Amino acid sequence: MICLSVEVNIGREKSIGGRLQNGGFERARRDRPATIPLMASLRTSIDIATPPDVAWDLISRFEHWLSWGVTITAVDPSSGRVRTGLTGRVKTIAGPWLPFEITEVVERESWTWAVAGVRATGHRVERTEEGCRVTFTAPVWAPFYLPVLARSLRRLEALTDR
């Protein structure tokens, strides 16, 4: 089953010209700076009957990205594993090669990246009683990308059935 939801991490905030109040955004007065969450994200997840290490290996090793990543047609480096600070290039179905940087890795748990300098998707694996839950996140400004992530999760699940 694919699950879609909104996740807000309020731990990291940035001052802007307004504030969150009573569930809405209100312009700030000059004497009161405002903050909004930087890490608000949308997420989709799938429960897979496979060990978490198998799912982690598939999402963290570059040689597997083409098997499950719906929009990826090539990646450089083409082998190895994600690690914080690693940079490379990715080619998408849109055509051009784009630079990427792995921005954070929690080994055997999660990783995030930025593509062309823009925060992109996040990837997480959690142990469940039946196997694991894999969650992909997208920035809150990219709800159109959730169906793509859901399709990638289904492809990932199919890889574990082999």
Q: Report pLDDT digits (tens) over 18-76.
A: 333 334 333 334 443 333 344 689 999 999 999 999 999 999 999 999 999 999 999 99
Q: Report pLDDT digits (tens) over 67-125.
A: 999 999 999 998 999 999 999 999 999 999 999 999 999 999 999 999 999 999 999 99
Among 119, 154, 124, 126, residue whose Cα is nearest residue 38: 119
Band of the pLDDT at 161, cuts 50, 70, 90?
Answer: confident
Query: Does the pLDDT of residue 3 top 70, yes or no?
Result: no
Please give the structure tokens belonging to residue 14.
Answer: 């940035």
Q: Residue ranges per domain, the chain?
A: 2-6+41-160
DSSP 40: -
Query: Does the pLDDT of residue 8 top 60, yes or no?
Result: no
Interhelix angle 52-60/146-160, nearest 10 degrees: 120
Between 122 and 3, residue with greater pLDDT: 122
Q: Residue 59: exposed, middle, or buried by beta-carbon count in 10 A (0-12, 13-18, 19+)?
A: buried
Cα dihedral 101, 105, 109, 115 in deg (nearest 10):
-20
Domain topology for 2-6+41-160: Alpha-D-Glucose-1,6-Bisphosphate; Chain A, domain 4 (3.30.530)
